[in-house]
Amino acid sequence: MRKSIFFTLCALISFCGLGTVAAPATPELQLDKRFLNLPVKNKAPKQRLKLLVEGQVAREFEIELAERDPDFWAFLDLSAFRGKRAILQADKLPADSRALEAIELSDQIKDARNLYQEALRPQFHFSSRRGWNNDPNGLVFYQGEYHLFYQHNPYGWEWGNMHWGHAVSPDLVHWTELPIALYPRQFGDWVFSGSAVVDRANTAGFQTGKEAPLVAAYTSTGRGECIAYSNDRGRTWAEFSGNPVVRHEGRDPRLLWHGPTKRWVMAVYDELDGKRWIAFHTSADLKQWRLESRIEGFYECPDLFELPVDGKRREKLWVLTAASSEYRLGTFDGRQFTPQTPMLPGHRGNAFYAAQTYSDIPARDRRRIQIGWGQIATPGMPFNQMMTFPCELTLRSTPSGPRLCFQPVKELQRLHATRRTQSRMNLAPGTNALVGIRGELFDLRAQFAVGATGEVRFVVRGMPVIYDAAKQELACADRRNPLAPVNGKVRLQILADRTSLEIFGNDGLLYMPMAGKFTPEDHTLALTVTGLPVRFDSIEVNELRSIWPMKEVQR
C-alpha cells in the first residue's frame, strides 16, 4: 500500500555555499516503508535533497525533480533507517513548487510493472534498474556468487552522485540487483572506481565470523584511496577507520594478491609532473601501503593479471591494461612491471571502456573473466548505459607475438533457445542464407573461406557487418578493423541485443563492442555475398532468451 507524503511550506532553508532561498520541506516522516520514490524530469533544474534521520544527514544528493509528468521514478532505499523518523529538505525549490508532493513512501518501486521489459532494456546484458551506470567495480567471486559493483547514479539518467551499485550472479548471465553497497560519506565526496578481493588469510584482521572478508578499495574523491570491508558476503560494508590509505593525485585502485612475494599489490592511476602513470603500491595487511614504482602511458582504471600463453602453465606473461583496454605484456615481480611489448590495441569497437577482470576465480576454473562498461545511451528510458557481456581473456601466439583474445564466456549457452545450422554450403551472390529468420536476440556464428575479392555481408536488424576479402577488413558502423584470415578462413561470432552488437573475429583476436543502430521495426537477419560464391564451413544461428524474468523485479 502506497503512502503519499504531503509537504507544507516551512521557514527558510540554507545550505552552505548556496545562499538562502524560500523552499518547501517535509513534516517529520515515519520511515515505515522500504522506498522513497522520487519523480525525475530530465533537464529540469537540479535540486539538492537532504534526508535527515533523527537530526543527522543520512543521504544527500542532486536530482532533477519533476514538477509534473515525470520521465521516470528513481528510488531511495530506506532499509537502513526503518522505524526511524526523518525530514527531507530541498535547497532551491520555489515556494509555490508542488514537486515534493508527488514523492511517495512505499514498499514497492514505483512503475515496477514494466521493470526489465522496457523497449530499450538490454535483454542479456546487465543494466541497473533505475538511473545511470558506468565503470564496473569490485569484480570478485566468493561462495558461488559473481559480484558486480559499478559506478551508479541512483537518482538521475546522467552521470553524477557516484555510488557503488551492486548485483550478483550465480553464472555470469542471470543477475540480481542488490541494495547499493557504498554510499558517499558526504555530498561531494563521491565513491569513484575501485576493486575488491577476498582476504582469505584475514591479513587485515577485519574478519568477525566464519565468512572470509571481502575487501574493497575505492577512490573517495574528497580523501584519497580508501578501504571498506564486508563480513556478510558483500551485503553490508564498513569503512576502515584509518582511511585514506593512499593520498595522491589519482584514482581507481586495483587490488591483487602477489603469491611469490606474499604481498598485496595496489595498481592505481597516478598523475605526477603533468604525466599519466600507473603506480604500484604493496602491503602486507591492506592497511599500510608503500609506493614501489610507476610506469607511464596508461590512463584510468588499471588492471593487472597474469595469463598463460596458448594455455601453457609454464609460459606466462603479465598483462597491464587500463580504461581504453590498450595493453602491454611483460613481467611483474610484485613491485615493478617490466614491459616486453609496445602498447597493443585492445577492443576495436565504439562502446567499451573501463573494463575490469574478476578476482578470486577458483583455481579449478582458471579463467580470467572481464566485464566492461557498455557506453550505450538509452533515451526515454528510466536507466542509462549497460555492461558488456562477460568475456574470457586468453593469450594466443600470432606471427606478431602473443596477443590478447576476447571470447564470450561459455555460460552464454544457457541462453540458447532455437538453434539453426547449415554446413558445407556454397553461397552464391543474390542469395540470403538466413532468409525467414526473425527476432531480437541472437548468437550468430559462421566460418567461411576467403577469396581474393568480394564481400561477406551480415545484416542484423538493418545493421550491416561486412567482411572485405580484398582489404582483409571487418567493418561495422563507424569502425573498420583489420582481420586477416587464419589458414585461409575467417571465423565470426556476433551477439545481438536490443541496443548492441558484440563482434568477435577469429576466436576473439578482434573484439568489436558496438552500439546498435538498428531499424526498430526490422527483426530480420541476412547473410549474402558479392563477387564469386563463398564456401561456408558452418553457419549457426542461436536465438537467445532474456535474462530478466519478472520474479527479479522486487528482489
Q: What span, in angstroms and rounded, lies between the C-alpha atoms of 454 and 448? A: 13
Judged on CB neighbours under 10 Å (0-12, 13-18, 19+), 54 is exposed
Residue 101 has phi, psi (to 5 degrees) of -65, -25
Residue 486 cell numbers, joined: 587464419
SS3 181: strand
Distances (CA, A) of 84 to 31, 61, 104, 249, 444: 6, 20, 16, 40, 53
Measured in whole angstroms, how far is the alpha carbon of residue 152 from the centre of its chain?
A: 10
Residue 467 cell numbers, joined: 567482411
Q: What span, in angstroms and rounded, lies between the C-alpha atoms of 185 and 416? A: 43
DSSP type of residue 186: B
SS3 465: strand
Residue 100 has phi, psi (to 5 degrees) of -70, -20
DSSP type of residue 347: -
Strand ranges, E, within 54-206: 56-64, 72-77, 85-90, 104-106, 131-142, 145-153, 163-169, 176-182, 191-198
Residue 550 has phi, psi (to 5 degrees) of -65, -20
Within 10 angstroms of residue 500's Cβ, the number of other Cβ atoms is: 22
Which residues partner with 538 through β-bridges?
Answer: 423, 447
In contact, 352 and 386? CB cutoff 8 Å:
no
* Residue 240 neighbours by CB under 8 Å, 6+ apart: 204, 206, 226, 227, 228, 229, 287
Q: What span, in angstroms and rounded, lies between the C-alpha atoms of 45 and 41? A: 9
Distances (CA, A) of 277 to 245, 266, 267, 320, 438: 19, 13, 10, 12, 48
Judged on CB neighbours under 10 Å (0-12, 13-18, 19+), 410 is exposed
In contact, 18 and 90? CB cutoff 8 Å:
no
Helix boundaries (H) for 352-490? none
- DSSP, residue by residue, 274-332: TEEEEEEEEESSSSS-EEEEEEES--SS-EEEEEEETTEEEEEEEEEE-TT--EEEEEE
Which residues partner with 197 through β-bridges?
Answer: 215
Is 507 tagged catalytic? no
Residue 554 cell numbers, joined: 522486487
Catalytic residue among 71, 107, 135, 478: 135
* Residues noted as catalytic: 135
